[in-house]
């Protein structure tokens, strides 16, 4: 399996809801990433995990809570989001954090916050 998968494809949630985004890869990669992409903008890094430990948090608000339960799975827990959080959320993985590593991207979850 050489793909990064993300579920769900689409998610609509209210500002008081709690939901989670899921990302999975079975390529044996030990680095995983969350990006946020607004319409007609480039992806922006949110979090980086390396060997299941959080390495980078790009000053993301606490209403976004990442979790890496094992080397194949990456979750993003959402709570009390704002309408401006509506975006495409991309997951990516790479072999590790070594130099020039290719990042493999998932198809994204399109999130709408009402």
Complex with other proteins: residue 15 or 54, whichever CB lies closer? 54
Reduced to 3 states (helix: H, G, I; strand: E, B; else coil), residue 69 is: strand
DSSP tag of 71? T
Confirm or reject binding of residue 55 to other proteins (CB under 8 A).
yes
Show the tokens assigned to 14. Answer: 């209210």
Does 95 participate in binding other proteins (rule CB under 8 A)? no
66 scored as a contact of other proteins (CB under 8 A): no
112 sits near other proteins (criterion: CB under 8 A): no
Question: Residue 69 burial (CB < 10 Å; 0-12/13-18/19+)?
Answer: exposed
3-state secondary structure of 36: strand
Query: How many of the chain's residues bind other proteins (CB under 8 A)?
Result: 23
The residue ranges that bind other proteins (CB under 8 A) are 31, 33, 41-45, 48, 50, 55-56, 58, 90, 97, 99-100, 102-108
């Amino acid at each position: 399996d050489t793909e990064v998968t993300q579920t769900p494809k689409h998610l609509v949630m209210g500002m008081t809801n709690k939901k989670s985004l899921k990302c999975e890869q079975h390529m044996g990669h030990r680095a995983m990433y969350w990006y946020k992409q607004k319409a007609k903008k480039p992806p922006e890094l949110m979090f980086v995990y390396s060997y299941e430990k959080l390495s980078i948090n790009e000053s993301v608000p606490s209403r976004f809570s990442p979790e890496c339960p094992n080397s194949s799975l990456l979750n993003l827990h959402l709570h009390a989001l704002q309408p401006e959080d509506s975006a495409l959320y991309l997951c990516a993985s790479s072999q590790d954090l070594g130099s020039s590593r290719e990042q493999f991207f998932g198809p994204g979850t399109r999130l709408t916050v009402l």
